[in-house]
Amino acid sequence: MHQKTSIAGEPDHVRAAPSHRNPYPYYARLARQQPFFRDDANGWWVAASATAVAEVLNSANCLTRPLSEPIPEVLRTGAAADIFGRLVRLRDDEVRGRLKDAVAGALASIDLGQIGDRARRRAAELDTELGSACDEAWITQFMFALPVQVIAGLLGIPRERFGDTMTWLGDYGAAAAAAGTGIPAATPELIARGHRGARALLDLVGGLGKDPGRRGPLLDALAREAARVGCDDDRDVVANAIGYMVQGYVGTASLIGLTLLALARRPALREKVDANRALLRPLVQEVARHDTVTSSTFRFMACDAEIAGRPLRKGEMIIVLLAAANRDPALNLDPDRLDIARKDRKSFEFGVGVHACPADKAASLLVEIAVDHLLTKRAPLERLEASLTYTVSGHVRTPLFKG
Ligand code: HEM
């Protein structure tokens, strides 16, 4: 699902901002004037300044799910719950810390050079598989396919299952987002498709997990690391192996698209980066700060407690605006300027605290390689703006180019 971009006015509220054409004046205003406030009309709190965002993300009183509903009620009856409830991303129980060590340790054990080699090989294969016309729709397909297929390959998923895997991830992801955030609406059809996708993913990755000969290096490493830290429930391993794809899929595709847009809008920068590809690294980091993919994330109060000097009640929800904090002048000087030479860049793009993303380096590398490939291919970046839409999401900023 996607919506045409609009340039008129501010978003109605923070959850309408990720798909707004230019939410940044709004984010900047919040970061500077309303660092932490209650949106009484919608019944949620908003953390917008860098200080407030850091306080929420580092607070042991702020959980990723409400204590009363670790798995959304609407998902509870099917396979999607077996993924949702076991992801390190969405739990704060006593197993989480050890499981996070395993998830992060397994990723860290995979050499970035190996990830890079796989990504370059896969990019070349996609040139053939996706057909020869390199137009806006092709670019969209490529940016979604490349990163998740590299991760799928690292888990051991065979190439002929990549297409199915992407469909199932999309179906599970849409159902999980609908159940967890209400955007899009959790219709019975969407939820049923999500359960079917989840079942298929659990069968596929669970099957690989049982057969050491078919496991890829990342699945192997996760099983090993989980055993090392004493997580002996195979269902946690399978769910979090799927979690690598779930977490990486839309986010990495989105950062590729946002980086392409940054270049498309700045022909002089495009020329400079084209001539010196070493600049891709700081470019990707700066786009992640400046046009943040994870516009926001949620937290829920574990108990009555003070946050940013305000009293919050158990169960209350906080929308944590990473994108606004990234534009806070207290975090970065002249924050509205895209400056790839920025010194001492600070960014919340990959989160902070116990739930911080363990794949920031791998994800950034995949984005660099995708953009490098598209520059070399002379992809028509100048046509992207005219075909730009953003997916409807309360939290993630995903550009689509449809031609
Ligand atoms: C550009 C792409 C990506 C972005 C912007 C991103 C961003 C984030 C952010 C902001 C969080 C923390 C969420 C929160 O605190 O509520 C997170 C968590 C996570 N990410 Fe990423 N991520 C990206 C790619 C990936 C990839 C490729 C993987 C896996 C290979 C991955 C795996 C994870 C995991 C497992 C967590 C949960 C960590 C935890 O809760 O302890 N991410 N990511």
Q: Is residue 305 over pLDDT 50?
A: yes
> What's the mean pLDDT in 19-33?
94
Nearest to 62 by CA among 45, 81, 79, 40: 45
**CA dihedral (356, 359, 365, 371) positive or negative:** negative
Residue of minimum CA distance from atom 43 in ligand 1 = 357
Rounded Cα distance, 329 and 325, in Å: 9
Cα dist from 265 to 7, 269, 372, whole Å: 16, 9, 17
Q: Is 248 in the pocket of ligand 1 (CB under 6 A)?
A: yes
Copy the structure tokens of residue 327: 């534009």
pLDDT of residue 7: 42
Q: Is residue 51 over pLDDT 70?
A: yes
Among 143, 247, 260, which residue has the most ligand 1 atoms within 8 Å of its CB, making it the best to mutate? Answer: 247
Q: Ligand 1 centroid to 334 CA: how many Å?
A: 27
> What's the mean pLDDT in 16-36?
94
Residue of minimum CA distance from atom 7 in ligand 1 = 350
At 183, the pLDDT band (50, 70, 90 cuts) reads confident
Residue 119, amino acid: A
**Could you tell me what percent of the chain has a pLDDT over 70?**
98
Which tens digits make up the pLDDT trace of 68-108?
Answer: 999 999 999 899 999 999 999 999 999 999 999 999 999 99
Residue of minimum CA distance from atom 36 in ligand 1 = 357
Q: Ligand 1 centroid to 78 CA: how many Å?
A: 24
At residue 31, the 3 state secondary structure works out as helix
> What's the mean pLDDT in 336-343?
97
Residue of minimum CA distance from atom 3 in ligand 1 = 251
Q: For residue 112, give every residue at least 6 positions away whose Cβ sits within 8 Å of its Cβ, in sequence order, or none.
A: 361, 362, 365
At residue 174, the 3 state secondary structure works out as helix
- Mean pLDDT (the chain) is 95
Neighbours of 162 (CB within 10 A): 18
Residue written as token pair 């993630």? 396
pLDDT of residue 251: 98
Q: Is 326 in the pocket of ligand 1 (CB under 6 A)?
A: no
Q: Is 243 in the pocket of ligand 1 (CB under 6 A)?
A: yes
Specify the CATH architecture of the domain 2-384: Orthogonal Bundle (1.10)
- Ligand 1 atom closest to the Cα of residue 320 is 16
308: left (phi over 0), alpha (psi -120 to 50) or beta: left
Q: Ligand 1 centroid to 181 CA: how many Å?
A: 17
Rounded Cα distance, 149 and 169, in Å: 11
Among 150, 293, 348, 357, which residue has the most ligand 1 atoms within 8 Å of its CB, making it the best to mutate? Answer: 357
Which tens digits make up the pLDDT trace of 346-383?
Answer: 999 999 999 999 999 999 999 999 999 999 999 999 99
- Ligand 1 atom closest to the Cα of residue 367 is 1
Q: For residue 357, give every residue at least 6 positions away whose Cβ sits within 8 Å of its Cβ, in sequence order, or none.
A: 247, 350, 351, 363
Peptide bond into 70 cis (omega under 30): no
- Ligand 1 atom closest to the Cα of residue 297 is 16
Residue of minimum CA distance from atom 27 in ligand 1 = 248
Q: Is 292 in the pocket of ligand 1 (CB under 6 A)?
A: no
At 178, the pLDDT band (50, 70, 90 cuts) reads very high
Q: Is 351 in the pocket of ligand 1 (CB under 6 A)?
A: yes
Q: Where are the domains of the chain?
A: 2-384
Q: Is 312 in the pocket of ligand 1 (CB under 6 A)?
A: no
Per the model's pLDDT, the better-predicted residue between 183 and 83 turns out to be: 83
pLDDT of residue 9: 84
Exposed e or buried b per residue across 219-237, where buried means at least 16 C-beta atoms within 10 angstroms of its C-beta = bbbbbebbeebebeeeebb
Which tens digits make up the pLDDT trace of 257-281?
Answer: 999 999 999 999 999 999 999 999 9
Q: Which residues pair with 3 in a beta bridge?
A: 390
Rounded Cα distance, 5 and 391, in Å: 10
Which tens digits make up the pLDDT trace of 157-175?
Answer: 999 999 999 999 999 999 9
Q: In what side-by-side order are the strands of the sheet with 297-301?
A: 36-39, 44-47, 317-320, 297-301, 62-63
pLDDT of residue 403: 63
Per the model's pLDDT, the better-predicted residue between 91 and 5 turns out to be: 91
Residue written as token pair 């010194």? 343
Rounded Cα distance, 343 and 370, in Å: 25
Rounded Cα distance, 58 and 365, in Å: 27
Q: Is residue 212 over pLDDT 90?
A: no
Which tens digits make up the pLDDT trace of 125-140?
Answer: 999 999 988 999 999 9
Helix 136-155 vs helix 112-129: angle between axes, to the nearest 10 degrees?
Answer: 130
